Amino acid sequence: MTLYTATYDSPVGPIVIESDGEALTGLRFGEEKTQATSSLPIFDEAIRWLDDYFAGKQTENAVMGAKKDGRITVQPKGTLFQQRVWQALLTIPYGKTVSYGEIARMVGCKSAQAVGQAVGANPIALFIPCHRVIAAHGQLGGYEYGQEIKKRLLEVENILKRRP
Q: What is the mean pLDDT of the chain?
A: 88
Short-list 133, 118, 117, CA closest to 80: 118
Q: Are strands 13-19 and 24-29 parallel, antiparallel or unpaired?
A: antiparallel
Cβ atoms 122, 130 nearer than 8 A: yes
Cβ atoms 2, 36 nearer than 8 A: no
Domains of the chain, first to last:
4-64 (3.30.160.70), 77-162 (1.10.10.10)
- What type of residue is 19? S
Q: pLDDT band for position 32 (50/70/90)?
A: low
On the question of pLDDT at 155 being above 80, the answer is yes
* C-alpha–C-alpha distance, residues 151 and 158, integer Å: 10
**Residue length, the chain?**
164
* pLDDT of amino acid 131: 95
pLDDT in tens, 33-64: 555 456 789 999 999 999 999 998 877 888 88
Q: Which of 130, 134, 154, 159 is catalytic?
A: 130
Provide, rounded to the nearest whole percent, the portion of the chain with pLDDT above 90. Answer: 66
* pLDDT of amino acid 163: 46
* pLDDT of amino acid 62: 85
* pLDDT of amino acid 28: 92
On the question of pLDDT at 119 being above 90, the answer is yes
* C-alpha–C-alpha distance, residues 63 and 61, integer Å: 7
Phi-psi category of residue 14: left, alpha or beta, with phi > 0 → left and psi -120 to 50 → alpha: beta
Strand-pair partners of 77: none
Cβ atoms 135, 147 nearer than 8 A: no
* pLDDT of amino acid 39: 79
pLDDT in tens, 65-117: 766 677 889 999 999 999 999 999 999 999 899 999 999 999 999 999 999 99
Average pLDDT over residues 4-33: 89
Strand-pair partners of 16: 7, 28
Phi-psi category of residue 73: left, alpha or beta, with phi > 0 → left and psi -120 to 50 → alpha: beta
Please state the φ and ψ torsions of residue 42, each to the nearest 5 degrees.
Answer: -65, -35
Q: pLDDT band for position 31 (50/70/90)?
A: low
109 given a catalytic annotation: no
